[in-house]
């Protein structure tokens, strides 16, 4: 795991123009002080130009670090949920809660690849990854602990309520609850209250899934002690199996400082984002977690191996019923429809 690049904090001289009256006079000592201030400012600019990073104050550095960790926390929760019921979709809102629970059980089993246990009981699914290190999932995520998923249906909306107990995802502890509600199986309204170490994350997000990625919009507030970090997600794009987001941006606000983190196609492997503070933009490296950043090495190596062996076989088993209905070959939707047929006596 590569450690994040150290950030050198330079003290910028504040030169206020236009606030002094025209009659103000400066002493020789003031002139010397001003000259030193200009020299310090110029030296900082020279360093920023050479390294590609703008000089940050300690408060700005702290805001960036807190924001980066908070983004990762919300990404880990979303990624784990996607491995249990894929956003591409698994959920069929026209099916019953029991049928959708069965579909979730099938997808979770395939993505665990023979590791851990998955138990379906009526409208409840229990996924046990076992004690640390737990299981390596089909997208390379390493998870331990237990997740209980309760499925409910009301007025065309299917809700999956998660309870996380002693869960560790890629080295980060996650505990608490999160609900994912959908009317179409691919767009979810998410409400989460998650604790990770000394941090508590309260989030209201919208997640939209495709076969290979999903996007996050919405807001989250992470509280640690007496300080809060507020996140505003704008189309943050998570490619399945990658360490960091590959697109979109996040506005981070803490201690009166607002910063914008912009992700790009290189961010998943390098961990580098464009950081904008006021009028200054620099390239910064996000805090590491698990095996990330890894320059596309270990995590990508087995990225879809389990998925190809497990999920595709599930899709093939339901291929005929999907073809008959004109729906895509998705295990969750086929399983849900078949469960409904069995319940009504149709074969």
- Model confidence pLDDT, tens digit, residues 6-38: 444 343 334 334 443 333 444 444 444 444 444
Res 47 pLDDT > 80: no
| Nearest CA among 259, 253, 264, 317 for reference residue 106 | 317
Tokens representing residue 203 in the block: 């989030």
Examine residue 190 and state whether it is found in any structural domain, yes or no. yes
Q: Domain total for the chain?
A: 1
> What's the CA gap between 281 and 52, in Å, rounded?
9
> What's the CA gap between 271 and 285, in Å, rounded?
5
Which spans in the chain are helix H?
28-51, 58-84, 97-112, 267-270, 298-301, 305-317, 319-325, 331-344
Q: How many CB atoms lie within 10 A of CB 294?
A: 20
Examine residue 37 and state whether it is found in any structural domain, yes or no. no
Examine residue 218 and state whether it is found in any structural domain, yes or no. yes
Examine residue 227 and state whether it is found in any structural domain, yes or no. yes
Question: Looking at residues 176-189, what average pLDDT do you find?
Answer: 98
Task: Return the half-sphere exposure (C-beta side, CA atoms, 13 A cut-off) of residue 261.
Answer: 34
Examine residue 53 and state whether it is found in any structural domain, yes or no. no
Cα-to-chain-centroid distance, residue 116: 23
Question: Looking at residues 250-260, what average pLDDT do you find?
Answer: 97
Examine residue 14 and state whether it is found in any structural domain, yes or no. no
Q: How many CB atoms lie within 10 A of CB 253?
A: 16
Tokens representing residue 6 in the block: 């150290």
Strand bridging mode 213-224 / 272-277: unpaired
- Model confidence pLDDT, tens digit, residues 191-218: 999 999 999 999 999 999 999 999 999 9
Strand bridging mode 280-285 / 272-277: antiparallel
Examine residue 43 and state whether it is found in any structural domain, yes or no. no
User: Residue 279's pLDDT band (boundaries 50, 70, 90)?
Assistant: very high
Question: Looking at residues 260-273, what average pLDDT do you find?
Answer: 97
- Model confidence pLDDT, tens digit, residues 294-346: 754 444 444 444 444 444 444 443 333 333 333 333 444 444 444 444 444 44
Tokens 């078949």 sit at which residue? 338
- Provide the domain limits for residue 184: 58-344
- Model confidence pLDDT, tens digit, residues 106-155: 999 999 999 999 999 999 999 999 999 999 999 999 999 999 999 999 99
DSSP classification of residue 135: E
Examine residue 36 and state whether it is found in any structural domain, yes or no. no
């Amino acid at each position: 795991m590569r450690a994040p690049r150290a950030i050198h904090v330079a003290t910028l001289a504040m030169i206020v123009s236009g606030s002094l009256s025209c009659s103000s006079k400066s002493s020789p000592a003031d002139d010397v002080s001003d000259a030193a201030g200009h020299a310090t400012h110029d030296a900082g600019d020279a360093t920023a130009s050479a390294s590609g990073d703008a000089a940050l104050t300690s408060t700005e550095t702290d805001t960036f670090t807190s924001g980066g960790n908070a983004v990762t926390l919300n990404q880990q929760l979303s990624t784990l949920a996607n491995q249990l019921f894929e956003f591409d979709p698994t959920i069929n809102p026209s099916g019953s809660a029991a049928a959708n629970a069965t579909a979730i059980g099938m997808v979770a089993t395939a993505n665990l690849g023979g590791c851990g246990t998955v138990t379906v009981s009526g409208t409840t699914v229990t996924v046990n990854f076992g004690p640390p290190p737990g299981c390596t999932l089909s997208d390379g995520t390493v998870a331990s602990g237990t997740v209980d998923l309760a499925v409910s249906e009301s007025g065309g909306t299917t809700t999956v309520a998660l309870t996380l107990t002693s869960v560790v995802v890629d080295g980060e502890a996650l505990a608490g609850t999160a609900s994912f509600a959908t009317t179409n199986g691919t767009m979810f309204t998410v409400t989460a209250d998650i604790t990770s170490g000394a941090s508590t994350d309260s989030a209201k997000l919208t997640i939209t899934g495709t076969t290979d990625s999903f996007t996050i919009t919405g807001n989250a507030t992470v509280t640690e002690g007496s300080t809060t970090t507020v996140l505003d997600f704008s189309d943050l794009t998570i490619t399945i199996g990658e360490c960091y987001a590959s697109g979109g941006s996040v506005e981070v606000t803490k201690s009166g400082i607002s910063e914008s983190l912009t992700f790009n196609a290189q961010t998943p492997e390098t961990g580098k984002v464009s950081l904008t503070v006021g009028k200054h933009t620099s390239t910064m490296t996000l805090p590491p977690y698990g095996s990330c950043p890894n320059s596309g090495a270990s995590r990508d190596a087995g990225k879809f191996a389990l998925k190809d062996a497990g999920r595709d076989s599930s899709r093939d088993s339901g291929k005929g019923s999907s073809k008959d209905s004109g729906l895509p070959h998705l295990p969750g939707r086929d399983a849900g429809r078949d469960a409904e047929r069995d319940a009504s006596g149709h074969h």
